[in-house]
Amino acid sequence: MATNYQQARHLIARAHALAEVGHPPETIADILGIDLATLARYLETRGVPSTDRVRYLWAREIAEQIAAGNPPAVPDRWWEHGSCRSVGDPDAWFPVGAPDPAVLRTCDACPVQTACLTVALTRPERDGVWGGITHRHLLSLYRRIQRIRMHRRGYRARPWHSKREGAA
């Protein structure tokens, strides 16, 4: 698994290159050291996906690890090593609308990006940019973690049109 966004982008580019040459999926997964489900997600897009898409795919892998009960390790006092500490305006990390692309680029180069995102997904951080993931994508990942946990516990969603017992 990729440990940060840049490694994920590199793996996706290599997966596409190996697929174009004609290697079977099992061989590509072995070469890259990833499982077939991750490879399928990497190859589902045409060409090398956008920066935002790669960042979200990487975050989705971390969310799935958290939902499975084995989140990535978070070092003590990880925030002291964050690239965000060098940015002068703390409000840049809590934008009202879309975040500044410079903020996301700062996260992409951060040495503790995985720890930051893991912390945000294990406690409900509802605002701001965490690990290079925006507020909108964080909410999507929270819902994904909950769906995976519910599915593993045997719960199944009812159709929206079904009525509860005893409802009028």
* pTM, rounded to two decimals: 0.68
Confidence of residue 157 (pLDDT cuts 50, 70, 90): low
Could you report how far apart the first and last alpha carbons of the chain are, in Å?
50
Report the SS3 class of residue 120: helix
**131 and 120 Cβ atoms separated by less than 8 Å:** yes
pLDDT in tens, 110-133: 889 889 999 999 887 778 889 888
Give mean pLDDT, residues 95-106.
Answer: 84
Handedness of CA 3, 93, 52, 143 (dihedral sign): positive
- CA 127/CA 125 separation, integer angstroms: 6
Q: Please state, in angstroms and as integers, the Cα–Cα distance from residue 131 to each residue in 32, 62, 105, 110, following that order.
A: 23, 11, 10, 8
Q: What share of the chain is helix, strand, coil (3-state, %, to 5)?
A: 60, 0, 40
Lookup result for tokens 């690990």: 131
- CA 22/CA 161 separation, integer angstroms: 46
Report the SS3 class of residue 145: helix
- CA 2/CA 84 separation, integer angstroms: 21
Lookup result for tokens 């009960």: 69
Give the pLDDT of residue 45: 66
Give the pLDDT of residue 110: 86
Question: Six-digit token pair at 8?
Answer: 């994920």
How large a percentage of the chain has pLDDT more than 90?
5
